[in-house]
Amino acid sequence: MTHKIKLLALSSALLATHSFAGGYMFPELGMMSISTAGAGAQAVAEGAETAFANPAAMTEFDNTQIAFNLQGMVSDIEYQDLGSTGAFSRGDEVTQAGTAMPVVSFYMVTPINDQWSAGIAFASTGGSLIDYGSDFKGALLLKDAQLLTAQLNPSVAYKVNQDLSVGVGLVAEYGMLEQNLAGSRQPGLPNVQADGDSFEIGYTLSALYHLAEGHRIGFAYRSEISHNMDGDISISGANLSSSVNIVMPATAYVSGYHTVSNKTALLWSLGWTDFSKIASTAITLTDRQGQLDIQRQWEDTFSASLGLHYQVNPDWRLESGIYYETSPQDDPKFQYPDVPTGEIWKLGMGTSYNLSSQWRMQLYYEYYYGGTPEIEYSTENLGKLHGEYDANVHFFGLLVNYSY
């Protein structure tokens, strides 16, 4: 096998790792307004989960709030081949790549005095698992991979006056990646494994403003966190030290909460994610003092969501919402097997129930539809991987909030 093809296989492995940090930014893992598909997340301010969604809203509480969340994420991803060639021509015509993973998060808010409040959140902004297996036609590029992130987010909020509060927070994020290729199935091609981890710091800025009784606007900005995932790349048993730059892009959301009647409230959100920072991937081979720059050409995305709260009785509430987000990349030639990237639609539903004056429980479900993006990844030496995806993700879980 030539040095050029070895380099191509190595580049493809690391490239596939990166887009997990782009396409799979999941607000569901932290903000917890899943039953309304994210609508109103920065303006609801009714439990400790606001320590993550909008720290400025922590001034809304007169006593300490604690929340625990137990969540499941199940992906259903199908690849249908449309005529791959060369090294990508062998394998199954249809491949199932979906997986499942549990998620746990914790939140706490406490007032310090009449103007100051403090909080902490342990949650995540992104992560994913995908597993094609060895019979996937694109197994040279990716067999299975995972990217996991966890954030510790302490914050403080200050009530400027009766209508306006502002907040600031520190974000300490740990990221870990692991990836396997099945290149050894193809004659002369190596088996490639990559892993790495990183610990980085970011920040949050937020605000909450009361327009009138029962009407408020919330804003939250989370800074970019750039991880240099230091680890090893193993090519057929030979290890090389490496560093892969993975960007968790900056996000900004503005939300509204509006009481329509004594039983009904309307919620909305508008969002922006700075995906254009993921124009390329920097891969450094520290042992060889070399660097590869892989072009991604992502674009910023914009989202909008609309939700509803309906109060059945003083203790029981029904919730629902719908969400849309533009695609960071629509060109099939820039798609990769790590994540099918397209427009996103979400439909959320759930219910909240007051178990007592101190305990509140929320059950939620969200259907995430990633569309049917097409991939046409081609190389001069190995041929073309040409197929279409049908991508769906299901979120469900239980959030419990305690007030004392």
Q: What is the domain class of 3-403 according to CATH?
A: mainly beta
CA pair distance 88, 91, nearest whole angstrom:
8
DSSP-derived 3-state class of residue 86: helix
Residue 127, helix vs strand vs coil: strand
Query: Tell me: the pLDDT tens digits for 106-136?
Result: 999 999 999 999 999 998 766 667 888 888 8
Q: Which two tokens stand for residue 248?
A: 């968790």
pLDDT for 188 beyond 90:
no
pLDDT tens sequence across 240-292: 787 777 788 899 999 999 999 999 999 999 999 998 888 766 667 666 666 66
Report which listed range, 169-183, 191-205, 237-251, is most confident.
Answer: 191-205
Lowest mean pLDDT of 58-62, 113-117, 202-206, 231-235, name the range. 231-235
Confidence at residue 256, expressed as pLDDT on a 0 to 100 scale: 98
- What value does the mean pLDDT take over residues 172-197? 73
Do residues 386 and 376 touch, judged by C-beta distance below 8 A?
yes
Does the pLDDT value for residue 345 go beyond 90?
Answer: yes
Q: How far apart are CA 391 and CA 304, in angstroms?
A: 20
DSSP 337: T
Q: How far apart are CA 364 and CA 303, in angstroms?
A: 21
- The domain limits of the chain are 3-403
**How confident is the prediction for the chain on average, in pLDDT?**
85
For residue 21, is it left (φ>0), alpha (ψ between -120 and 50) or beta? Answer: alpha
* Residue 382: closest CA among 80, 10, 89, 16: 89
SS3 breakdown of the chain: % helix, strand, coil, rounded to 5? 10, 55, 30
351 pLDDT higher than 50: yes
pLDDT of residue 4: 42
State the Cα–Cα distance between residues 218 and 53, nearest whole angstrom.
9
Locate 46 and state its tokens. Answer: 């009714």
Torsion of CA 164, 67, 46, 205, to 10 degrees: 30
Predicted local distance difference test score (pLDDT) of residue 220: 97
74-78, 216-220, 273-277, 328-332: range with highest mean pLDDT: 216-220
Q: Which residues pair with 247 in a beta bridge?
A: 226
Q: How many helices (H) does the chain have, and how many strands (E)?
A: 2, 21
- Quick one: average pLDDT of 205-232? 93
